[in-house]
Amino acid sequence: MGIVISDELDPLFETGVLLYCSSKKFNAKDRIIAELNGLGINGEAFYQKHFSIIKRYLRYFKKNMVVIEGKEFFFNAQEDFFALALKILVENREWIDDFGGVSDLEVRSLIAFMLENRQSTRLPDKEKMPVLEGSSEIIDFLQKQDITEEMKWHFMEFMSRPKYWLEVLFECISANIPAYEQAVYVVRRPYAEVLKRYRDYTEAHAEDMQKRYGPDRVVHPTLIAPVQQLDTFTRGYHGMLNEFISRKDRNPDAIKDSLVMKMKALGDRSKLEILCTLKEQPKYNLELADSLKLSTSTVSHHMSVLFNCGLVSVQKKNAKVYYCVETEAIEEMAADLQNLLG
């Protein structure tokens, strides 16, 4: 099976992220603007120009959402914790309807594998997953992970009662799919326009998306994460406003915007060190973290910026995501500088 580029939203993913963005802990606007600023884009201007549909979408979801007891465990948690829980949900969506035949030990093994192998692109055989039968084994496992102390305590509770907490998550998602559907209906007209542009974009960039997400993926558009590119083991989620960031118009203003974005990224010493390291050979997240003495979460943040700037690309090999320098983008940057300033 090759890559399948869908033009349909994934209700489970959309509802989960809508719930997270509706939590008291999450300030969607500030977070998005900060991410865009990090790419060298005027985040405030971009947000005001393109995000009216997203704001309306989120507002109507909040208006109709159902509050479930215990939801704070996931939706007020740190983003990395929520992201892993959401990944479990979208990869095991059949559990929502039939969770009875799954044991706590199976779920705990899955959580442990996904936490320990956050860069893996496929699950191993069940017999190769970690087996954590008691509290002492869970504690020993978590102490070895490169995560904050707060997240260790959160995962300790999750792994102590994994089926109970996943059932809470399933209930939250199931109860709020109608709110998601109502929100999509309310924004149906502007959404139809965005979807048309998205279809045109994905058709024109099918080869690039193949490289980004790799084979054996169903890639969905996402409205609630509109400028992000995310993937799980079998699915990808491509932000519907990404075209405005990655568009390569060759008019002078677009060239200057692209240069600002790339030069801002290279103005950070760690990002420059990453590119120098990748020039030697492609590496995956943990290799970069070890060689540069950075945490894996910090490396992931740097790679997200470099990827969105077009300075790196990804290759998926042996169940790992390898990052590579995009030499053509660097040559293009040098040529653009020469043309503007030479």
* pLDDT beyond 80 at 215: no
Closest by Cα among 165, 210, 159 to 314: 210
Domains of the chain listed by start with CATH number: 4-184 (no CATH), 252-341 (1.10.10.10)
Q: Look over the chain and give the mean of its residue pLDDT values, rounded to a whole number.
A: 87
Share of the chain above pLDDT 70, in %: 95
Q: pLDDT higher for 165 or 261?
A: 165
Task: Evaluate whether 309 touches 323 at the Cβ level (below 8 Å).
Answer: no
pLDDT of residue 249: 44
User: Average of pLDDT values for 50-56?
Assistant: 92
* pLDDT beyond 60 at 247: no
pLDDT of residue 255: 75
- Residues making up the chain, counted from first to last: 342
pLDDT of residue 139: 93
* pLDDT beyond 60 at 25: yes
* pLDDT beyond 80 at 171: yes
Lowest mean pLDDT among 39-43, 188-192, 225-229, 251-255: 251-255
Rounded CA gap, 244 and 11, in Å? 24
* pLDDT beyond 70 at 1: no
* pLDDT beyond 70 at 94: yes
Overall pTM surpassing 0.85 (yes/no)? no
**Residue 14 pLDDT grade (very low, low, confident, very high; cuts 50, 70, 90):** very high
Helix (H) or strand (E) holding 13: helix 11-21
User: Average of pLDDT values for 118-129?
Assistant: 75
* pLDDT beyond 60 at 250: no
pLDDT of residue 26: 66
Task: Evaluate whether 35 touches 243 at the Cβ level (below 8 Å).
Answer: no
Q: pLDDT higher for 315 or 241?
A: 241
223-232 pLDDT per residue, tens = 999 988 888 8
Q: pLDDT higher for 42 or 86?
A: 86
Residues sharing a CB contact under 8 Å with residue 274, sequence separation 6 or more, in sequence order: 288, 292, 299, 302, 303, 306, 312, 323
pLDDT of residue 251: 59
pLDDT of residue 248: 46
Closest by Cα among 161, 256, 180 to 224: 180
Four-residue CA torsion sign, 83, 239, 252, 37: negative
* pLDDT beyond 90 at 61: yes
* pLDDT beyond 60 at 189: yes
Q: Which residue has the tokens 């995310």?
A: 230
pLDDT of residue 335: 79
Which of 36-45, 133-142, 280-289, 317-326 ranks highest by mean pLDDT?
Answer: 133-142
